Structures are given as structure tokens and as C-alpha cells.
Amino acid sequence: MTLDPRLLGSADAVSIATAVRQGDISAQSVVAASLERIQQRDGDFNSFTEVLKDSALEAAEKLDQQVAKGIPVGPLAGVPFAVKNLFNVAGLTTLAGSVINQENPPAPTDATVVARLKQAGAVLVGALNMDEYAYGFVTENSHYGPTHNPHDLQRIAGGSSGGSAAAVAGGLVPLSLGSDTNGSIRVPASLCGIYGLKPTYGRLSRAGVALFAGSFDHVGPFARTVADIALSFDVMQGPDPNDPVCAQRPVEPTVPQLGQGIEGLRIAVADDYFARGAELQIFAGVEKIAQALGITRRVRIPEAHRARAAAYLITAVEGANLHLHNLRSRPQDFDPATRDRFLAGALLPADWILQAQRFRSWYRQQVMTLFQEIDLFIAPTTPCPAPLIGQEKMVIDGVEVLTRPNLGLYTQPLSFIGLPVLSVPLRETGSLPFGVQLVAAPHQEAKLLRVAAYLESLGIPNAQPV
């Protein structure tokens, strides 16, 4: 297979790595093309906060030398990738979207998942913009500026991993990493029209990642194809003693299962809470997926509205607790939107949090009971396509609501019980993209990816770069 470097902005990671391993294209030309696109286009997107030109080209040169000598290279050989700037990168200060962190020393080592991608041959080209301390759904960062949606530069990319989604959707890199607390992978994946995977809680190591709310936080990949999501997920799997919640499970490859189809899978549509509060095109997208999968069953996720409320409370408290010292001593150095929510979280009554945690345990049991009858269900990812940058309110189904919190309407109730979720992109001609969530029981990522690959084979998801 021969890849024209001029077309690498639309090439997927699997194709790039295959061509590099076979010697059909050099890793240096791939990485150079990615760096050139970043230079030419990221002025419009504002997705990168740091570009690692020299180290990326040096890593690519070493890969080419290995290929020339017949030394095996990894399954992601030569694939450019970038990471949300809350992942440690050796030699860089981990900003986590803040200015306070600029005073910290550079990270001594890479985050575990960054190191594993590098070990698989992927080449790190930079760090990406985000909401401060990952607290938000919009990536309108008061310190580093807003990230613009590649599909419409007047609109948000979503958050808090907005830079990660925009870089992939804009064709700057085929693969990126983000984190998800209450929807911070899924929301930007939806608004930017790409795939975003929130794995099972503890499935991928968070060692070397600046956490927001430790009992919620997941890390995962963005990409434009299911195969790229599966391959990157597979190379990042594995226990890590440096993350106490990283599950001590054997690696279970998902790539070989992509072509198995959906036969035997019991799939349902989430009803009730997940069937109201969105624009009509969002529900039409869910129905399109349901028809393609032959779904006839609908299920109710009990007390989803209370799950969202409980997630709000626990998130606010856990996040505020991490930053209490700076909230007391230098509140003026926070992004105002972040600071005010952290301060509110610090003042929440303890009995509210106890009740929220009790509810969390009950809710997890209810949802796990549901998975005794089905294998996965589908639901909207966001209630609308991307709002405008700076838009404080939006009207959905005739009701005016605040924009920022309501972008997580459908992701938050599924966030704090550790479920794996994949946002699948949809886009009709002439319209903005949006996503549909595929949701499974813990450690069932392979089922999500099987369904997504089947939909991809039908030509339904649309994740072409802008």
C-alpha cells in the first residue's frame, strides 16, 4: 500500500502503521506532514498548547532506521498522536489547562498510557487544549483561549477534551487521548463528529494523569475509525501498579472481534429520561442506529435524573478537594468558571454527599441487573450539535436551558458507575455532527466495538476529517 503524504490528513492510524512497517512510506514523512498541517491549520482550531516538533521528528527517524534494518516495529509505527495536556509527557510541565500548574517542574516520565502508545511505535507530536482542570464541557479556556470546532469555527469543540477531539476531526492527527469524568471524551467526540471511547473504570491506567475526580476519571482514545479505537485501546491495556484502580485483569484484545458482526447480541434503546430533552435530529439519529441494528426492545434506566444530580455533587466535592489549598490562597489565578464551581463544591454539606454515594451504590446495582437481560443499549450522546462559542443558553424542545451543564445531560448519568461507553458519530449532509452512545457492562468493550464496526460496515457513522 502506498500513501501519498499530501493525503495523510485523512488517513487512519492502521493504514499509516501498515504502510510504515512495509516500508511504503517513511515515518519521517508521515510525522512531517502532520506537523505541517498543525502549523497551517491549528491557528484556526487552537487545539494544541504545545507542539513537539524536534522530538517527534527524532522518534520518526529512529523508527525508519529500525524498518531499514528489518527490526520489528510496533502496531502503531509512525502514527502521529497528541494528548490532552493533563497527561504527563517527560520534559513538559503538565498544565491541566491551568496557569497555576505552569509553576510546576516538568514531568520526569510519561504517563503510562502515553508510554504504551510510544512503545507501540506511535509518535507524540504535542499536547492539547482543555477546560481548566477538566471541569467543563466546552473548552472555552480563559487562559489558553477556546478550541474551535473544525466543522464550524464559530462553534465549540466540546470539552473538557476539546483539543483532543478537534485535532482528530480537523485531520491534524489520526489519534489522540483524552479523559472522561462526566462526559469529557464523549461530548467532544459527539460535537466534533468522531469516535470517542470511555473504557471501563480502571481498564486503562491513569498513572501520570492529573485527575479531576478520582472515583470517576477514565482515560481513552479519539479516532476516526473503529479499528483505530480498538487498536489504540488494545496497546494501552494492562495492569499498572502505579494506578491503584487499574484492574488486575488479563489483556483481552478487541481488534480480532471487530468482524464478528452483531449476531447473538441483545441490544436495546434507552427510553424515558434518554428519550426527552434533545433536538429532534438527535432522536432521529438514535432511531437510525436502532433500525440499522434491528432493535425492537426499549429499556428504562431507573432514576437517571437522580444519577445525574448525584454525579454533579460528588464531582464537585472530589474536584474541590484536590484544589483546596490554591482555592484558599490564590483564587484569582483560576479560570473564573472553574473557580466558582470548585468553591461551591467545597461548601456542600457532608450529608448530601453521603446520600449521593449511597444512591450511587444502589444505582449501580440497578443498572447491572439490567445487563443480565441485555448486552448493551444505545442513547444520545449530546442533546444537540455544537453550540456557538460563548453561547450561555440554548433552546431545546421549546425550553431554554444553560448550555454548559446541559451538554452532559445524557453522559453524566452513565459516568459514575464505571461503564464502558463509545460515542459513534453521525452526520447528515449539510448539518453539524452529533453522536450516539453505545453502552455495555463493565469490561465488555469488545461488544461495543463489534457493534460500531458493524455500523461502520453499513456506512452509517460519518467521521471524515474536515
Q: How far apart are CA 188 and CA 136, in angstroms?
A: 11
Q: For 393-451, how does the pLDDT look when each residue is reduced to its tens digit (9 = 90+)?
A: 998 878 899 999 999 999 999 999 999 999 999 998 889 999 999 999 999 999 999 99
Q: Which of 146, 161, 127 is nearest to 53 (CA)?
A: 127
3-state secondary structure of 96: coil
pLDDT at residue 66 is higher than 80: yes
Over range 309-318, report the average pLDDT: 97
Over range 98-120, report the average pLDDT: 98
Q: For 337-363, how does the pLDDT look when each residue is reduced to its tens digit (9 = 90+)?
A: 999 999 999 999 999 999 999 999 999
Active-site residue list: 84, 160, 184
Residue 431 contacts residue 281 (beta carbons within 8 Å) = yes
Residue 3: per-residue pLDDT: 64
Q: Which of 316, 206, 279 is nearest to 432 (CA)?
A: 279
Helices then strands, counting H and E runs in the chain, come out as 14, 17
Q: How far apart are CA 15 and CA 284, in angstroms?
A: 33
3-state secondary structure of 25: coil
Residue 166: per-residue pLDDT: 98
Residue 156 contacts residue 359 (beta carbons within 8 Å) = no
CA distances from 415 to 142, 308, 334 (A): 26, 9, 25
DSSP strand E in 174-282: where? 175-180, 195-198, 218-223, 267-270
- Confidence grade of residue 247 (pLDDT, cut at 50, 70, 90): confident
Residue 462: per-residue pLDDT: 83
pLDDT at residue 123 is higher than 80: yes
Q: What's this model's pTM, rounded to 2 decimal places?
A: 0.97
SS3 content of the chain, % helix, strand, coil (to 5): 40, 15, 40
Residue 396: per-residue pLDDT: 83
Diameter over CA atoms, the chain: 64
- The domain limits of the chain are 5-457
CA dihedral sign of residues 240, 241, 243, 247: positive
- Confidence grade of residue 248 (pLDDT, cut at 50, 70, 90): confident
CATH architecture of 5-457: Alpha-Beta Complex (3.90)
pLDDT at residue 240 is higher than 90: yes
pLDDT at residue 32 is higher than 70: yes
pLDDT at residue 270 is higher than 90: yes
pLDDT at residue 1 is higher than 70: no
- Confidence grade of residue 385 (pLDDT, cut at 50, 70, 90): very high
Angle (deg, nearest 10), helices 53-68 and 13-21: 50
Q: How far apart are CA 367 and CA 208, in angstroms?
A: 31
